[in-house]
Amino acid sequence: MTSHILETRGISKEFSGVRVLNDINIGIRPGEVFGILGENGAGKSTLLKILCGIYTPTEGELFLNGNPVSIPNPSTAQQLGISMIPQEFNLIETLSVFENVFLGMEIRRGGLLNKKAMREQTSRWLKELQTDLSPNATIAQLSVAQKQMVEIAKALVHDSRILIMDEPTTVLTQHEVEILFGLIERLKQKGVTMLFISHKLKEVKQICDRLLILRDGNLISVDEVKEITEHDMAKKMVGRELNQVFPSKSVSQDKTVLKVSGLNSLPLVNDIHFELKKGEVLGFAGLIGAGRTELAEAIMGLRRKQSGQIWVQGQEASIHSPSDALKYRLGYLSEDRKGRGLVLNFGIPENTTLISLKKYSRWILHKHKEREVTQTYVKQFDVRAASMNSELQYLSGGNQQKVYLAKWMDTNPEILILDEPTRGIDVNAKKEIYHFIHSLTEAGLSCIVISSELEELIGLCTRVLVMRVGRIVGEVTGEHINEEEIMVYAAGLHDERMPA
């Protein structure tokens, strides 16, 4: 009798003759947390999609409990007890939480939907996740972190024996991560097998039993987690020693390029005052719901302002829409690149020029010029794709984020707001983006970085403003930019408050 609940033998996958997964042989034990690591484009998502029936392997076989199986579609995977929590949300915004959780597997009684039973079961799993979300809440009203909790509940309700988690913690606070890890331990005790994909090496070290490392579609190693260090994980992922991830910090100038005074966009932006200097990387920290994203949206004209002033380059700015913000040469990378930033069924040129299309057309679109400029960005950002025409849905998360950056750079911004700029991308792509941010500030641009990863803010920023329940409650600079100091403010444990 096999000791593996799931096996892959010689699994390979090709797209248009390009091999993205090559001869993968792994055996996963019942009740273990099996980590999967690799750079963006290493083949992680392709492997997961084969296991979930989204892709069919070009070569190789799958075995479940020692028996060969075919998984031609996601519904077959669910019937076999395999569920996946996707990295990019697959929720219908206009439906409620419970309707999304049971979508496609609704409970019926006498031919009618049993909404009471679906609400009760959804509520039970939400309580298990220790979230106060209502089963009746509409998805469109939820934050990114709350949507992640819905995706987790959606997978758990299937009562799966194999649960695949693709970057489940990228938008969660540390407290929410601890709740999720507690749930993983409880599921493990019940014999549930989990595949855990993350770019956060500390998390992999903390929660996983064994670890698969992929590079360029090839299996590099399968290790017992207790026998491998985080440094060795990173080295195996990139195939070389990884030099310092963060660049040296830029020195900002005295000139104020953005000033925000008394800004209110209630309920989550309350009496905000701050200044951004030329060449500065200014960080914004805070727990989920602190109002950081809402502040960025208010500055960019995406959210209605009740009061307050914004000055850009010393001039009072009238910003009521994103197009107004563009006139003042402001750019904004949303934390939700799939929902708000990119058109995933468009190619790279179409996404790159989405905002700046006027530069490439008079009476007709000059596609040659569009492709020529896009090619320079592809080279500058090292965007890896089968071709320029590849739809973005087929690119890795890191390459999608690079295209998103290119899109905003093509507007020639002077101030760039980056909301969770490295969410769901690997350690090497993070390094590339950090060094690109540094090069921008060295060239005189100014950046605001909103991040839930304190290590990111500590490594990049010359100042960090901490928000809590819609207000700026603290500022840390120099040697005071550390996790403890930031969290004291974020959790409301500091008596000091920012002066108005």
Tell me the per-residue pLDDT of 101-141, one tens digit each, with 9 for 90 and over. 998 888 898 889 999 999 999 998 888 888 888 999 999 98
Average pLDDT over residues 68-73: 95
495 assigned to some structural domain: no
> Are 232 and 290 in the same domain?
no
498 assigned to some structural domain: no
271 assigned to some structural domain: yes
Residues pairing with 440 in the sheet = none
For residue range 168-192, what is the model confidence (pLDDT) as tens digits? 887 777 777 888 888 889 889 888 8
CA dihedral 280, 423, 231, 166 (to 10 degrees): 180
- Which pLDDT does position 500 carry in this prediction? 41
Cβ–Cβ < 8 Å for 424, 167: yes
> Are 84 and 34 in the same domain?
yes
Q: How confident is the model at residue 244 (pLDDT cuts 50, 70, 90)?
A: low
> Are 317 and 229 in the same domain?
no
136 assigned to some structural domain: yes
> Are 306 and 224 in the same domain?
no
* H or E element at residue 475: strand 471-477
79 assigned to some structural domain: yes
- Which pLDDT does position 230 carry in this prediction? 87
Output the six-digit token pair for 201: 């090496």
DSSP state for residue 247 in the 8-state scheme: P
Other CB atoms within 10 Å distance of the CB of residue 256: 16
* β pairing state of 471-477 and 463-468: antiparallel
Average pLDDT over residues 356-370: 83
> Are 124 and 160 in the same domain?
yes
Q: How confident is the model at residue 495 (pLDDT cuts 50, 70, 90)?
A: low
Distance in angstroms (rounded) separating the CA atoms of residues 372 and 252: 33
> Are 221 and 326 in the same domain?
no
Q: Is the pLDDT of residue 214 over 60?
A: yes
Domain boundary among 211, 238, 265: 238
Cis peptide before 267 (omega within 30 of 0): yes
- Which pLDDT does position 496 carry in this prediction? 45
Domain boundary among 192, 210, 238: 238
Domain boundary among 238, 269, 289: 238
Which residue type does 50 have?
A: I
> Are 228 and 289 in the same domain?
no
Supply the CATH number for residue 434's domain.
Answer: 3.40.50.300
248 assigned to some structural domain: no
Output the six-digit token pair for 60: 């190789």
19 assigned to some structural domain: yes
500 assigned to some structural domain: no
Burial (Cβ within 10 Å: 0-12, 13-18, ≥19) of residue 336? middle
- Which pLDDT does position 242 carry in this prediction? 55
Output the six-digit token pair for 204: 């992999």
Per the structure, the count of domains in the chain is 2
For residue range 374-427, what is the model confidence (pLDDT) as tens digits? 999 999 888 988 888 888 888 877 888 899 999 999 999 999 999 999 887 777
> Are 300 and 182 in the same domain?
no
- Angle between helix 427-442 and 397-409 (nearest 10): 10
> Are 288 and 172 in the same domain?
no
Q: Which domain holds residue 146?
A: 6-238
> Are 262 and 297 in the same domain?
yes
> Are 363 and 478 in the same domain?
yes
Residue where the block lists tokens 């590339």: 432
